[in-house]
Amino acid sequence: MMRRDAQSISSRSDKVVQGPDPIGVAELYEQAIRVIYSEAFAAGLNPAQWNALRYLSSALPERRTPSAFAQYHHVTRGTAAQTINALERKGLVSKRPDETDGRAVRLELTEAGHAMLSKDPLNLLAEAFAQLPRNRLEAAMMIGQQVTMEVYRRVSRR
Amino acid sequence: MATILIVEDDNDFRAVMRDALSGVGHDVTEARDAAEALEKIAGWSYDLVITDILMPQVDGLSLIREIETVAPKTPVIAISGGDAAIPPAVSLTATKAMGVSHRLAKPFRLKELLSTVDEVLG
């Protein structure tokens, strides 16, 4: 059975395996990302809200503001405010006045926010990468850097 | 006090950082791009390199890779304001993936720079 399938494929092409196909590679990564997004929504947060939680867990205290978050991700202040307000409504983020600038607010993760972050679906992908030997992880890192930046540049040229 | 190499293509921003770090007693050397930085690293041992990420010709990611090879014990602080296409979230995450633990998104306050430098130098 296997032999017949292989023959029928090879009859349409000189080679059965033709080497890496960029569309196939893109689909493969998309499948992994789809799982991560699906897990993200299952926890009740959209990807932008997960990004905000991650940002607030690692940013310097002075940078935990809506405007710094907006600058960091190149989103409008309105979009940033929408994301942060949603997290506040869910009890994951709290706001308090900035001690040095009365007009500004500082954002902090609540206890529930920290607990939510421990279930970050991105960990699934990180754990998969952690299985790779060092040389493959380094290759994945360099490919990730190059491909991600290229995608952003292509979008900005549209 | 420490010997610090600042790699930044924006002259004004580089000068502001130089003045702030010199002002607290550090010995600061400047490089306008990655090629100049590598020349300086070849001739001197620095306690810390502070590098922009999105620079013309050779970017900061390539520079960090070179530093890992030629001066692997030198700590690096990555700074980036992104550009029209790439937000700082992307350029700085690219350095996080390399294991750069200290990263600053531009614009930052000099107080943030100085406290990050203190943290790295211990």
Contact call for A68 and B105, based on CB within 8 A: yes
Q: What is the pLDDT of residue A100?
A: 74
Tens-place pLDDT, residues A46-66? 999 999 999 999 998 889 999
Q: What is the pLDDT of residue A5?
A: 52
User: What are the strands of the beta sheet with B3-7, ordered from one edge?
Assistant: B27-31, B3-7, B48-52, B76-80, B102-105
Contact call for A62 and B116, based on CB within 8 A: no
CATH fold, domain A21-131, is: Arc Repressor Mutant, subunit A (1.10.10)
Query: Residue A1 pLDDT more than 80?
Result: no
Report the share of chain A in percent with pLDDT over 70: 91
**CA-closest candidate to residue B47, choices B65, B29, B31, B61:** B29
What are residue B91's phi and psi, to 5 degrees?
-65, -35
Q: Rounded distance, CA A130 to CA B47, Å? A: 30
Q: Both tokens of residue B103?
A: 């990263």
Q: Rounded distance, CA A83 to CA A51, Å? A: 9
Contact B64, B98 (CB under 8 A): yes
Q: Which residues contact A1 (CB under 8 A, 6 or more apart)?
A: none
Which residue from B minimizes the CA distance to A52? B89
Q: Please give the full DSSP string across B96-120, using - where no structure is assigned.
A: HHTT--EEEESS--HHHHHHHHHHH
Which residue from A minimizes the CA distance to B84? A156
Q: What is the pLDDT of residue A10?
A: 54
- For residue A10, the number of C-alpha atoms closer than 13 Å in the C-beta half-sphere is 9
Q: What is the pLDDT of residue A62?
A: 86
Query: Residue A6 pLDDT more than 80?
Result: no
Q: How many domains does chain B have?
A: 1
Q: What is the pLDDT of residue A126?
A: 96
pLDDT confidence tier of residue A17, bands split at 50, 70 and 90: confident
Tens-place pLDDT, residues A72-123? 999 999 999 999 999 999 999 999 987 777 778 899 999 999 999 999 999 9
Q: What is the pLDDT of residue B113?
A: 96
Partner residue opposite A152 with nearest CB, options B90, B108, B116: B90
* Shortest Cα distance, chain B CAs vs residue A62, angstroms: 8
Contact call for A145 and B85, based on CB within 8 A: no
3-state helix, strand, coil in chain A (%, to 5): 65, 5, 25
Tens-place pLDDT, residues B57-104? 899 999 999 999 999 999 999 999 999 999 999 999 999 999 999 999
Query: Domain limits at B26?
Result: 3-121
Task: Residue count of chain B, please give it.
Answer: 122
Give the ipTM.
Answer: 0.88
pLDDT confidence tier of residue A136, bands split at 50, 70 and 90: very high
Q: What is the pLDDT of residue A103?
A: 75
Any idea what the CATH number is for the domain that residue B112 is in? Answer: 3.40.50.2300
Q: Which residues contact A148 (CB under 8 A, 6 or more apart)?
A: B90, B94
Q: What is the pLDDT of residue B119?
A: 95
Partner residue opposite A148 with nearest CB, options B88, B90, B109: B90
Contact B52, B9 (CB under 8 A): yes
Higher pLDDT, A13 or A73: A73
